[in-house]
Amino acid sequence: MFKIRSLVTALALVGSISVASALEVLPTVAPAPADNPTTAEKVELGQLLYHDPRLSSTGTVSCSSCHNTMLGGEDNRPNSMGVNGQTGGRSAPTVWNAAFNAVQFWDGRAPSLEAQAAGPVTNPIEMGMKSWDDVVARLNTIEGYQVAFEKAFGKDSISKDNATKAIAAYERTLITPNSPFDKYVSGDKSALTEQQVRGLNKAQELGCTGCHSGPAFNGPGLFLPFPIHSNPVYAAKYHFKDDKGLAEVTKKAEDEHRWKVPTLRNIALTAPYFHNGSVKTLDEAVVVMAKTQLDKDLSKEEIADIVAFLNSLTGEFPKQKMPVLPATPGSTFN
């Protein structure tokens, strides 16, 4: 799972990536695993579970609390807030287009959306449930969930496995295609401004798209060191190396400060930036990336051009009707 593409990594380590990745439009449908084909019933159930704070110990935090589908798919906070006001050490990644990630979480510890959906529910800082057995017991007392699970999976089907499958099925519908960039690549050369075209060309020239590759600009399955080039000013200001990244999972020294390459899709909407949310603006993030990864100092014009290009990656968000959650008339969990 944590294999690194040696050629791109080697080029990145010397700050001289010149790989010009093919430009690809974002697909409108995400592939589903063989053991969890997408169905309308699963998606409907998954949307309920995703937005239900009763999957948390306090009844106050849902998946959507940190990955808000009414915004850029995260919460615009440096560190997300879980139960009882607790905060973690990392910034919430966007859920939009997460279906195109080869692995999930900043450190890639979950190999699928299904595996990712299971984690936060029992994390003591995030949703705080003691166990999935407790979650299943709670869902079993709600008549509306008994009906919804039966529609999606059959009778007596409320389980951790089916709950996470349903959430993942819903998340696979969270795709934002038809951005100005997509329209440009599809042949509409008027879809991008001259400045955005300059920014695209500069991003390719610098090598940005060598790592941020593929239709989601996320280098699927690719882990790279960050930062590559030491900078004492940035180290003191942003504390990038306080978190060991991939090494927190593998416990290997060679994996320290390696991170899954994040998507650039809708990046204009997902400030603050980087794994610890320490950079507040997109302009500043471009400056930091150029210096820490490529050892390049960009002009104001180059920064503005690249930021303009990144804005062209904001896609069309599918219209969603917020669900009415199954009720518990006359009772409460808290």
Over residues 180-236, the pLDDT tens digits come to: 999 999 999 999 999 999 999 999 999 999 999 999 999 988 899 999 998 889 989
Burial 185-210, CB ≥16 within 10 A → b, else e: beeeeebbeebbbbbbebbbebbbbb
Q: Which domains does the chain have, with CATH numbers?
A: 6-27+177-311 (1.10.760.10), 40-171 (1.10.760.10)
Q: What is the pLDDT of residues 54-67, one digit of tens each?
A: 999 999 999 999 99
Q: What is the pLDDT of residues 200-209, one digit of tens each?
A: 999 999 999 9
Identify the pLDDT of residue 331: 85
What is the 8-class DSSP label of residue 226?
A: S
Residue 102 to residue 83: CA distance in whole angstroms: 29
Q: What is each CA distance from 10 to 46, 162, 262, 307, in whole angstroms?
A: 41, 41, 19, 26
Helix ranges (H only) for the chain are 6-13, 40-50, 63-66, 113-122, 132-140, 143-153, 160-171, 180-185, 194-206, 208-211, 232-238, 247-250, 282-294, 300-311
Please give the mean pLDDT across all residues of the chain.
93
**pTM listed for this prediction:** 0.93
> Looking at residues 272-290, what average pLDDT do you find?
98
Q: pLDDT band at residue 333, thresholds of 50, 70 and 90?
A: confident
Identify the pLDDT of residue 21: 59
Q: What is each CA distance from 221 to 93, 101, 256, 260, 269, in whole angstroms?
A: 15, 7, 17, 7, 23
Identify the pLDDT of residue 334: 63
The rounded Cα 184 to chain-centroid distance in angstroms is 24
User: How many helical (H) and strand (E) elements, i.e. helices and strands, does the chain have?
Assistant: 14, 2
Identify the pLDDT of residue 290: 97
Q: Are 20 and 209 in contact (CB under 8 A)?
A: yes
Identify the pLDDT of residue 10: 36
Q: What is the pLDDT of residues 101-157, one digit of tens each?
A: 999 999 999 999 999 999 999 999 999 999 999 999 999 999 999 999 999 999 999
Phi–psi pair at 89, nearest 5 degrees: -100, 0
Identify the pLDDT of residue 11: 40
Q: pLDDT band at residue 320, thresholds of 50, 70 and 90?
A: confident
Phi–psi pair at 223, nearest 5 degrees: -115, 135
Predicted confidence (pLDDT) at residue 16 exceeds the cutoff of 50: no
Verify whether residue 301 is a known catalytic residue: no
Q: What percent of the chain stands above pLDDT 70?
A: 93
Identify the pLDDT of residue 22: 83
Catalytic residue among 44, 74, 114, 126: 126
